[in-house]
Chains A and B, each alone.
Chain A
Amino acid sequence: MDTLKNKVALITGGASGIGRATAILFAQEGAAVVIADIDAEAGQAVVKEIEAAGGRALFTACDVTKAQDCQQAVEAAVAAFGGLDILFNNAGIIRRADVLTTTEAEWDRVMDVNVKSIFLMSKCAIPHMERRGGGAIINTSSGWGLKGGRNAVSYCASKGAVTNMTRAMAIDHGRQNIRVNAVCPGDTDTPTLRSEAKQLGQPENEFLTESAARPLGRYGRPEEIAEAVLFLASEAASYITGAALVVDGGGLA
């Protein structure tokens, strides 16, 4: 229960879904957790949940597409907990549409939230990690960051970028003992997944049945992705960097 004892972790998109599950798990494992999200109400609720269980957490309102917000989030973590060891770049959105039906504004928004945010947050976080003698950055990519998918062209482009920028960052910052890895979830039971059914105009139960069509015969739970993120953040993964950890019930096998 103390895998992350004395560590400080910042989680973007920590108010719901995979980010929320990871925030709760990290806190259980002894980390002080900073939840950076645009949804203050949901974010504060996660903080309360963690504190009620005896953990340490802080919410900071943050639009990850804005450099100033990212800077403030990192500074809030350092001010509250004395430093930063783990950055989980998890905030993301999906637009289920092909090239013809994706607007330019939607394209920019997906790339900003899913890709630029990692650049902005990492830029602020890395100097603090270096000061602590190292750190771990985990980026949420996707199975669709490794292979293509239907009606999600901006999302696939963004997640492909996440997978490869993860490798590039691993190469650049290994010398500072900062490990950078991606987690690639398959379909996971989150608000985002359920929103996809709506975007595609498909009944939710039909969409979820299709999501479960994979070797393990089900879609994932946020807690299962959180376990993979915890592993990558922990000392157990001390020789793993530049890697993409796929957690998808065999969907890509």
Chain B
Amino acid sequence: MHGLKNKRVLITGGAGGIGFEMARRFLAEGARVAILDRDPLACQRAKESLPALSGILLADVSDETEVARAFDELDALFGGLDVLINNAGISIRHAFLDITADEWRSVINVNLNGVFYVAQQAARRMWAGSGGVILNMGSTNGLTGYPYYADYNASKAGVIELTRSMALELGPKVRVNAVCPGFIMTPMQEAEYTPEMRRAFEAKVPLQRLGKPEDVAALFAFLASDEAAFITGQAFVIDGGEIAGGLASQA
């Protein structure tokens, strides 16, 4: 990808899963990468696996004070920001009837409020500086209904609409897009699904497999690069064809 060399990149939730894979990919593209994560152990492991990381910011995206402090650290580290990957997110598999108010709040706080806190900090710096790119992690669950993840789905639909609205206000200096992965096999997903559930799912996907974190990292790298210079305000699906036809196509 063109134009990522020496770019200052921040990845939230960058210590594990798709975020970690993106850190690896952006480093391979020659970017300077800092990760922001709330899990100190995972951060330690990330630093050991990727010694080229420029910095590790320990913060919980759902806490606006912690986010503000992390950006003070980022200013000291990078003196600005070119690319934000707003990736941190959580999901809980539970029936709608059983969702507690605390669970609802925790999902919305991380997945939607956290995206807002981080995006606003980043966008203010990009707006005052020479522009930049903000990429938010959506989900196909934010585009179509899906059982047992009502809170997660609502948070991701919120992220997608936030993305469009930011693109309208922040153009032409800042490009803002969302990526909507389908079923990607991450540690978070592996903990939730049995092998039988996984096989049943693979059979429903036109490409007959689940996605890999590397697949998603490649799309983020493209959207962050100069090759996507005319792309803003969109939500891009990467799902092996899963929602191309919805349930009716999955017989």
| Interface residue ranges, A against B (CB under 8 Å) | 166-168, 170-171, 173-175, 177, 179, 186, 214-218, 220-221, 224-225, 227-228, 230-231, 236-253
Does any Cβ of A come within 8 Å of B55's Cβ? no
Kindly state the separation between the CA atoms of A217 and B167 in the bound complex, as whole angstroms. 12
Kindly state the separation between the CA atoms of A179 and B228 in the bound complex, as whole angstroms. 21
Query: In this complex, which of A217, A230, A238 has the most chain B Cβ atoms within 10 angstroms of its Cβ?
Result: A238
Kindly state the separation between the CA atoms of A218 and B243 in the bound complex, as whole angstroms. 32
Q: Which residues from 122 to 162 on chain B have a C-beta closer than 8 Å to any C-beta of chain A? A: none
Contact B215 A243 (CB under 8 A): no
Kindly state the separation between the CA atoms of A168 and B228 in the bound complex, as whole angstroms. 26
Min CB distance B137 to A, Å, is 15
A174 touches which one: B164, B206, B228, B230 (CB < 8 A)?
A: B206
When distances are taken between beta carbons in the complex, the residues of chain B under 8 Å from A230 are 227
Contact A167 B244 (CB under 8 A): yes
Given contacts A216-B172, A237-B219, A241-B241, contact A249 B232 (CB under 8 A): yes
Query: In this complex, which of A243, A251, A252 has the most chain B Cβ atoms within 10 angstroms of its Cβ?
Result: A243
A239 touches which one: B170, B171, B240 (CB < 8 A)?
A: B240
Contact B240 A241 (CB under 8 A): yes
Kindly state the separation between the CA atoms of A175 and B249 in the bound complex, as whole angstroms. 13
Kindly state the separation between the CA atoms of A173 and B222 in the bound complex, as whole angstroms. 25
Contact A224 B239 (CB under 8 A): no
Kindly state the separation between the CA atoms of A128 and B216 in the bound complex, as whole angstroms. 28
Given contacts A227-B228, A241-B206, contact A250 B233 (CB under 8 A): yes
A-B contact pairs, 28 of them (CB 8 A): A170-B206, A170-B244, A171-B244, A171-B249, A174-B208, A175-B206, A175-B208, A215-B168, A215-B170, A217-B172, A218-B172, A224-B227, A227-B228, A228-B231, A238-B218, A239-B207, A239-B215, A242-B237, A243-B236, A244-B237, A246-B231, A247-B228, A248-B230, A248-B234, A249-B172, A249-B232, A250-B233, A253-B168
Contact B233 A253 (CB under 8 A): yes
B215 touches which one: A221, A227, A238 (CB < 8 A)?
A: A238
Given contacts A168-B245, A240-B219, A247-B230, contact A215 B167 (CB under 8 A): yes
Kindly state the separation between the CA atoms of A179 and B208 in the bound complex, as whole angstroms. 12
Query: In this complex, which of A220, A240, A241 has the most chain B Cβ atoms within 10 angstroms of its Cβ?
Result: A240
When distances are taken between beta carbons in the complex, the residues of chain B under 8 Å from A246 are 231, 234
Contact B219 A236 (CB under 8 A): yes
Chain B: which residue is nearest A166 at the CB level? B244
The 8 A-B residue pairs with the shortest CB-CB distance in the complex, in nearest-first order: A253-B233, A174-B206, A242-B244, A215-B171, A239-B215, A167-B244, A227-B227, A250-B233
Chain A: which residue is nearest B215 at the CB level? A239
Does any Cβ of A come within 8 Å of B205's Cβ? yes
Binary interface encoding of chain B residues 172-206 relative to chain A, with 1 for a CB under 8 A from any of its CBs, else 0: 10010000000000000000000000000000011
Given contacts A215-B172, A231-B227, contact A250 B232 (CB under 8 A): yes
Min CB distance A77 to B, Å, is 24
Contacts beyond the supplied A171-B206, A215-B168, A217-B172: 5 A-B pairs with Cβ under 8 Å: A171-B249, A179-B241, A216-B172, A216-B175, A237-B219
Kindly state the separation between the CA atoms of A250 and B219 in the bound complex, as whole angstroms. 18
Kindly state the separation between the CA atoms of A210 and B209 in the bound complex, as whole angstroms. 44
Does any Cβ of A come within 8 Å of B211's Cβ? yes
Contact A217 B218 (CB under 8 A): no
When distances are taken between beta carbons in the complex, the residues of chain A under 8 Å from B218 are 236-238
Given contacts A168-B245, A174-B205, A179-B207, contact A253 B172 (CB under 8 A): no
When distances are taken between beta carbons in the complex, the residues of chain A under 8 Å from B47 are none
Does any Cβ of A come within 8 Å of B229's Cβ? yes
When distances are taken between beta carbons in the complex, the residues of chain B under 8 Å from A216 are 171-172, 175, 230, 232
When distances are taken between beta carbons in the complex, the residues of chain A under 8 Å from B164 are 253
Contact B238 A215 (CB under 8 A): no
Chain B: which residue is nearest A240 at the CB level? B238
Does any Cβ of A come within 8 Å of B38's Cβ? no
When distances are taken between beta carbons in the complex, the residues of chain A under 8 Å from B229 are 224
When distances are taken between beta carbons in the complex, the residues of chain B under 8 Å from A252 are 233-234
Query: In this complex, which of A167, A177, A218 has the most chain B Cβ atoms within 10 angstroms of its Cβ?
Result: A167
Chain A: which residue is nearest B1 at the CB level? A236
B228 touches which one: A166, A171, A221, A228 (CB < 8 A)?
A: A228
Kindly state the separation between the CA atoms of A54 and B238 in the bound complex, as whole angstroms. 34
Chain B: which residue is nearest A217 at the CB level? B172
Contact A253 B241 (CB under 8 A): no
Min CB distance A73 to B, Å, is 26
Kindly state the separation between the CA atoms of A158 and B205 in the bound complex, as whole angstroms. 27
Min CB distance B233 to A, Å, is 2
Min CB distance A43 to B, Å, is 26
Min CB distance A237 to B, Å, is 7
